[in-house]
Structure 1
Amino acid sequence: MSGSETDSSGQPPRDERVESGIPRLDFILKGGFKQGGIYALMGPPGSGKTILVNQLCFNHIDKSEGRCVYMTLLIESHAKMLRHLASLRFFQLEHIPDKLYYISGYKVVRDQGFGGLLELIRGTLRERKATVFVIDGMESAEQFAPTAQAYGEFVHSLQALASLLGCTTFLVSNVRERTHTENALVDGVVELSDRLIGPRAVRELTVHKFRGSDYLRGRHEVEISSDGISIHPRTEVQFAHPGPSARESRPRMAFGLPRFDEMLGGGLLSGSTTALVGSPGTGKTLLGLSFLVEGARRGQRGMYFGFYEPPPRLIEKAEAVGIPLERYVQDGSIALEWQPPLEHLMDSLAEQMLEKIRAAPEREHRRLFVDGAEGFRAAAVYPERVPIFLSALTNQLRSLNITTVITDELELFQSELVLPTPELANVAESVVLLRYVELRSQIYRLLSVMKMRESRYDSSLREVHITPSGIDVADSFQSAEAILSGRGRVREARVATTDGKAPKKGSAPLKPAGKKRARPSRRGR
């Protein structure tokens, strides 16, 4: 039945889909593979082709109570392949051979050609009442074809058979040219790749063709673990159309630090994103933890998502400066999600974070502290993706009404303020700068609010003290000058003399602002 035909009720036929059950692959395909369609799956050795189609078969049996036939045209024995698959969690030996039937077609195509192979396929699919059919090793079949036309006719016959039986078919082969005859005849072409990008080995999935349906174009990260294959769509494509941001009630989300909260007009607006930018040791992590603890104290759920310090050390660090983090972690108000310093995939990290947020019990206002943006940057295979990735991620968090604080690290000392992730400052509503300043051979911590959309704020410089009693933000830092260069200087007063000349350097230091200067002494006149 063609796409323009109607059924007996006069309605167009339903678009029946066969879901793969592979994490996020069906999302990329906007619902899964079309029932009765024929699809080419190609990729180099080691890219995950065999795992993908076997995982699809087991998922199809579990979810749809379907029946699968897996035919190999390769010399590798089924026993060897099954031994490799047995270590993966989706593998279920009890489904073999009743619901998942493995059969070799190598000898038949070698001795009887395509005519004999088609008869074997037709008889097996009908006998087994198969709903999914896999042919693994199509490059071997092509080697036995006398001409390219003969091979094309064989693929066309497979397509007609699959449509007649309503059996969704997958043709698995090594990488070929996209203009290959097989790819022109099938309903869809999916490619798995395995490449070295710098020192990293990166697996990706690309859908080149998918008839009769929209799909997510471009490359998507592939991860193989003991669970099998997982696909990670690009975050900027996956969340290209986030839901509307919260606009009803947007209360202030305080840090629990009175003077700092005053600078922010009472706190951050609910559902906004704030960048905490600063050098190592300036207090970014402690400030972010203070934000979570203050939320928990107010009954708001929070989550820490970080890359550097494991939870026990994080709790110890917070408790040492008077931040009662452990109490709220134990009662479930704050979740600590630590990503060990391993080789991560950027989109996978974003998915983990969002899935944890969605899995948590709903509360009206929630807080997130990401420590820090450089963890995502280090995981990016393509650095040019980082700006649009951060934009998509922060937009998605806004649509979930998550108030987010994310840190980014500056160099320890630098003559100019150069943001390592300038795009973060663009997508964040607020930017808070934490820096060191050297004055009279002493190092001071300074804090300032550089930007805050939709709100008034105090842009003055404040000194920050971190003590066992907690974080203290001072009223001001009067003596700092040229602070953006990282160097503080004490201003010198210019006092007129009787001869009209400027005083000597250091003759009269500037008094603190707001205090009346003392008159010069008249004694001795």
Structure 2
Amino acid sequence: MIEKFSTGVEGLDQLTDGGFLRGSAYIVQGPPGAGKTILANQFCYAHVAGGGRALYMTLLAESSSRMLAYVSQMGFFEGSALPDAMQYVSGYGVLEREGLPGLLKLVQHELKRHRATAMVLDGTFVAQSVASEQEFRAFIHTLQGVAGMAGAVLVMLTHQNRDASCPEHTMVDGWIELSDETTGFRAYRTIQVRKHRGAAILPGKHRFRITGNGIAVFPRAESTMDAAVLPSAQAHRSSIGHRDIDGLLQGGLPGGSATLLVGPTGSGKTTLGMHFLSLSSAQEPGLMLGFYETPAHIRMKARSVGLDLDTPTEAGTLDIQWLPPAENIVDEIIRDVVSHAKARKVKRVFIDGLVAIRDSLVITRRMPYVINALSMQLAALGATVLYTSEIPELQLDEIQLPSDELSAMVDNVLLLSTGRRAHAFRRYLSVIKLRDSNFDPCTQEFHINGNGIAFGPDPRVGPAGDAS
């Protein structure tokens, strides 16, 4: 079996089925500023940290000292690796004087001298510019053979937007493309493994970002799903934290299920979620992810309706997280939620605001699939999940569930609706579906008082007649 070397990026290792194959050659292609140099350096320093030796050869006029000035600011940089395990060499002068034959001799000499098991050739397009197409193909072919004989991974960087049918792409073992893309006023970065011999890659485009610690890649959540994370059926019920609502649900939510709380603003979705979280304990740790209210405000809001989130939070059995609804990467959110739930053995998860997740997606039609992937991964950990989703305020008999198939991707749907009857604002709760279970189909009027949710009309406004 051919040995694999980590790319130095956890998410890229997932896309490439474990990393780069020893003795293989790869092209990393992307426009200037896309992150190619950072990715290549990150790979080299990770390789050195794992006991390998790396050689970085640049064909650009930029000096190694200038590159180091930038790279040294990255979190992956390790100055002690220089110049023994990690070495920078310029091939620009040799290429200018002696052409491709001279450059090939330099590569062979430096690989042998440095005993490198990983090599980066930065500026491959420069080599192409000094030779004919046939000479360049021969150069790539020979270079690949040199790396193979040395048992080294060869990574070639180019900013040329070459077509998939170009000869060099058919000759190398792998091809990775970085892109800067825009949709409207929004800019984002994607990475795609276009080719990787001998590996089961995750195809298609995936988001990535450049941080102070280097490149972080986030595989599409739905593309990482496999049978290994499929949950097993759970027979127990998970209380929603309210006796009367548990009664409608025939004892509570099915354990390990995903529930959508859908309704207009002010219908009580967050309050119902806080009921659910109030039962967080050492046996059933809880996690809340909100987008519009800070943890301090959520705790204050819970106190105002008689719900105690302070005790489990201070005991460490409930974690309330806040993520402002900016241009987040949804796959990163899913990764972090699942990692947190796994580390803390979380059994109760409340995600307040699917609209914020939807609006962060570049392609919004992914929404049902990413939520299904999140629910499945959390269910595999034994967690029961509640989501909230907004719909417009309509009369009770006019309300329609979301048409984006989201309701079909969850196990249970609870509709919280509002209306103005008898000159008063009123709230109603209906169970729309419950996984493999019977439930009470009757719509219940409720109000919110100093003890949270209470069934029946608000005594301050009186009855409004039949709400069904």
Give the TM-score of the pair, scaled to structure 2: 0.95
Among 142, 145, 150, the alignment partner of 1:165 is: 150
Unaligned 5+ residue runs, structure 1? 1-13, 484-525
Instruction: Check if 1:55 corresponds to 2:57.
Output: no
Alpha-carbon distance in structure 2 between the residues aligned to 1:230 and 1:421: 34
Please state whether the residue corresponding to 1:423 is helix, strand or coil.
coil
Cα distance in structure 2, aligned partners of 1:73 and 1:324: 63
- Aligned residue identity for 2:10: P
SS in 1 for 2:321: strand
Corresponding residue of 2:206? 220
SS of alignment partner, residue 229 of structure 2: coil
For the 8 Å contact 2:254–2:435, the answer to whether it is kept is no
Question: Matched residues in 1 for 2:149 and 2:76: separation?
Answer: 30
- Of stretches 419-428 and 317-326 in structure 1, the one that deviates more from structure 2 is 419-428
Alignment of 1:404-483 (within 5 A): 404-413=385-394, 416-420=398-402, 422-474=404-456, 479-480=464-465
The residue correspondences of 1:8-27 to structure 2 (distance < 5 A) are 14-27=1-14
Kindly provide the amino acid, as one letter, of the partner of residue 159 in structure 1. Answer: Q
| Cα separation, 2, equivalents of 1:327 and 1:132 | 53
Q: Deviations over 1:112-137 (max 9, x none)?
A: 11111111111111111101000000
For residue 214 of structure 1, give the secondary structure of its aligned residue in structure 2.
coil
State the alpha-carbon separation in 1 of the partners of residues 271 and 47 from structure 2. Answer: 48
The answer to whether the aligner puts 1:30 opposite 2:17 as a matched pair is: yes
Q: CA deviation at 1:29?
A: 0.9
Give the distance between the partners of 2:284 and 2:321, measured in 1 at CA.
17
List per-residue Cα deviations over 1:202-224 (Å, max 9, x = no partner): 11111111112221111011111
Cα-to-partner distance string for 1:193-244 (whole Å, 9 max, x where unaligned): 1111122111111111111222111101111111211111111111143534
Q: Which amino acid aligns with 1:205?
A: I
Cα separation, 1, equivalents of 2:183 and 2:121: 31
Counterparts of 2:465 and 2:354, CA distance in 1: 29
* Aligned-partner residue type, residue 153 of structure 2: T
Identity %: 36
Question: How many Å separate the matches in 2 of 1:338 and 1:134?
Answer: 40
Q: Choose 1 or 2 for highest CA Rg.
A: 1
Q: Which residue of 1 aligns with 2:166?
A: 180
In the alignment, residue 191 of structure 1 is paired with which amino acid?
E
Out of 106, 112, 115, the position equivalent to 1:126 is 112
- Alpha-carbon contact 2:235-2:255 (below 8 Å) kept: yes
Of 228, 251, 254, which residue of structure 2 is paired with 1:266?
Answer: 251
- Structure 2, unaligned runs of 5 or more: none
Which residue is equivalent to 2:380? 399
Q: How many residues align?
A: 463
Alpha-carbon RMSD across the aligned residues, in angstroms, is 1.9
- Other-structure match for 2:182: 196
Match of 1:279 among 264, 273, 276: 264
The whole-number CA distance in structure 2 between the counterparts of 1:409 and 1:262 is 25
2:34 aligned counterpart, secondary structure: coil
1:90 counterpart residue number: 76
- 2:230/2:377 contact within 8 Å kept: no
| Distance of 1:167 and 1:323 partners within structure 2 | 61
Query: What does 1:289-300 correspond to in 2, within 5 Å?
Result: 289-296=274-281, 299-300=283-284
Greater relative contact order: 1 or 2 (C-alpha under 8 angstroms, separation 6 or more)? 2
Q: Is the 8 A contact 2:271 2:302 kept in 1?
A: yes
Distance 1:449 1:475, change over 3 A: farther
Aligned partners of 1:474 and 1:15: how far apart in 2? 68
Runs of 4+ in 1 over 6 A off after TM superposition: 475-478
User: Would you say the 8 A contact 1:306–1:338 is kept in 2?
Assistant: yes
Q: Is contact 1:311-1:336 (8 Å) kept?
A: yes
User: How big is each residue's C-alpha offset from its partner over 1:7-66, in whole Å with a ceiling of 9 and x where there is no partner?
Assistant: xxxxxxx2210111202111111111100100010001111101101001111111x211
Which SS does the other structure have where 1:294 is aligned?
Answer: coil
Residue identity matched to 1:105:
G
Contact 2:193–2:204 under 8 Å retained in 1: yes
Give 1:482 shift: 7.1
Deviations 1:432-453 (A, max 9, x none): 1111111121111111111112
1:232 counterpart residue number: 218
For residue 40 of structure 1, the aligned residue among 12, 27, 34 is 27
Asked if structure 2 preserves the Cα contact closer than 8 Å seen for 1:321 and 1:469, the reply is yes
Distance in 2, matches of 1:114 and 1:411, equals 66
Q: How far apart are 1:395 and its partner, in Å?
A: 2.1
Q: How does 1:215-364 map to 2 (within 5 A)?
A: 215-247=201-233, 249-296=234-281, 299-360=283-344, 362=345
Is the contact between residue 209 and residue 216 of structure 2 (CA under 8 Å) also seen in structure 1? yes
Q: Which residue of 1 aligns with 2:367?
A: 386
Shift, 1:144, TM fit: 0.8
Q: Secondary structure at the match of 2:267?
A: coil
Which whole-Å CA distance do the structure 1 matches of 2:416 and 2:242 have between them? 15
1:151 aligns to what SS in structure 2? helix
